[in-house]
Amino acid sequence: MGISAIALEKLLARQKLPDFFGTEAVKPSYDGLGLSNIASLAIEWLAPDAPTLSEETATPAFNPELLGVSEISEAWKSWQNQAPINHVVLLILDGFGYEQLQSLANSKDAPNIAQARDSPEAFFMPATSVYPSTTVTALTSAATGYAPAQHGMMATNLYMREIGTIVNFIGFSPQVAASRGSFPDTIFNPETLLPVPNIYLRMEKAGIDVEIINFDQFKQTSISRFTSAGAEAGTNNFKGYRTPSDAFSQLRERLLARSCQQKSFTYLYVPTIDSVSHRYGPLSSSYKAEVATLDFALKKQLIEPLAGRNDTVLLLTADHGQRYNPLENTLWLEQHPELTQNLFAPATGEARVRYLHIKHDKQAAVADYIKQNFSENFFAITPSVAVELGLFGIPGKPLSIEAEDRIGDLLLISPKDWICRQHITNEERYKGHLGVHAGLSSAEMLIPFLAYRF
């Protein structure tokens, strides 16, 4: 059994949740085997003395030794000791989960990633996403090194007490409004949204050369602003690209021009796999085609031309994986007025985990209704149970005020392949995606940790 297979077995055992979450459920790790820890690892390698810029402590660096397997620990130490690390690239392939990577590597749809994964220049194992395993929450952890419980970005759609409305954080706009325009800064400023600092600013203050390579149209969008607030990487050092191949080409030129005297960190985000997966489903022919295209571009633009630069490390990971969603497996809350009349706001969160904001003294009635009507496909837990289990941060560690405000009074979760939606306007009902995420299944929660020296 190889290191990755051993690590998978140990990780699944270590991150097991109670049986009522389902047989495939994986608890997120924030203590050293998850996405936020990968962000902290970059700082540990490049700038261990970087200022914290916060009274709140970030999550520790990624640490495979926590699995307690000597073979894995020795392989990790040996890999790290091959050469000094002067340049780090954090490449996030949105929606490219560990299970999806392994499947496509085995089917030869991603031969170059598979070759890199298995080479002496690499250390490879599964890690966990955050919870909910969704882009806004995960990318905020990847940009800060903090758990959701600390940074407060608990889902795509959140009830924001500060402005008294539900906000969609992809568009930074009201969830329901005549116009989908973003809030003006005078009402809701993204640069003051997070209570914790980002890794770009921390590393810049330690003298590291930091830049972000991201899709052209993402420059100075609200999510870009709140994940890079105060950092030059989000403004002057933001390098836009038109296609992923363009991004890899730009990265290659910048890495070739750098010397070991000036340490550097580059964040590179590619959203295309996730977009294709939502529409056609994970591991669909279109999904495989997109991965194969990226796989080829990685080889031609990075792996081959940078060969031998072993002080440069590529950290290839994902924000989350995806699972197939049968569209008929949808619970529509508006069809249950006996429940919704006890909510003071529409359900927020994600289709795979709903936050219910319950009227005073109605929590027992809502919980009973869920148990009586949805128990075959859903269950509810309180925020306090979620905290004790460690869904949003280190088990038992209290939520920040921001996080606590935003997750409501009950969490509605499916242990199966179901989603929950609520139709709240007179527009045509949106039917949803074939590929979904934000849940706790291994397909959604497991992400790759591929550390590769060029």
In this prediction the pTM is: 0.96
> For residue range 44-80, what is the model confidence (pLDDT) as tens digits?
999 999 999 999 999 999 999 999 999 999 999 999 9
Which of helix, strand or coil describes residue 252?
helix
Model pLDDT for residues 12-48, shown as the tens digit of each residue: 999 999 999 999 999 999 999 999 999 999 999 999 9
Joined tokens for residue 57: 């402590």
Work out the mean pLDDT of the chain and round it to a whole number: 95
**pLDDT tens digits for 85-119?**
999 999 999 999 999 999 999 999 999 999 999 99
73 vs 64: CA distance, rounded Å? 6
Architecture of domain 3-144+196-324+445-453: 3-Layer(aba) Sandwich (3.40)
CATH number, span 330-436: 3.30.1360.180
| Every domain range in the chain assigned CATH 3.40.720 | 3-144+196-324+445-453
- The answer, yes or no, to whether residue 178 has pLDDT greater than 60, is no
Q: What is the DSSP string of 41-107?
A: HHHHHH-TT----SSSPPPPPP-GGGG--HHHHHHHHHHHTTS---EEEEEEETT--HHHHHHHHHT
Where, residue-wise, is CATH 3.30.1360.180 in the chain?
330-436
DSSP 8-state secondary structure symbol assigned to residue 209: E
Q: Which residues pair with residue 332 across a beta bridge?
A: 421
